[in-house]
Amino acid sequence: MPTTHYAFRALPFEQQIVLVWDERQHVATRYEEVDTVAPYYMGGASFVELFYNPIYNVLQDRLRTFVSTALLEPYASVVNLDDLALE
């Protein structure tokens, strides 16, 4: 069973990352300044964006969670929501 959006947000960052790796479904990739940003569908209609710095080869210690598919707009050219296993 997927972790709910609010339960996920209440976890420490390190546990959030473990859950993303365990429950994820990669959606797309975009680039923001020097960061690579990748959203993951977490089930239960929630998403997590991870920020990765390829210059330093490090996952940033921040992420963004959301439940609105409207926030997937920056990925609209490459994302088809019908392809996701939305619950």
Give the model confidence (pLDDT) of 19-53 as tens digits.
Answer: 998 888 888 899 988 999 999 988 877 899 999 99
pTM over cut 0.85: no
> Cα separation of 38 and 16, whole Å?
15
* Interval 42-66 mean pLDDT: 91
Band of pLDDT at residue 81, cut at 50, 70 and 90: low
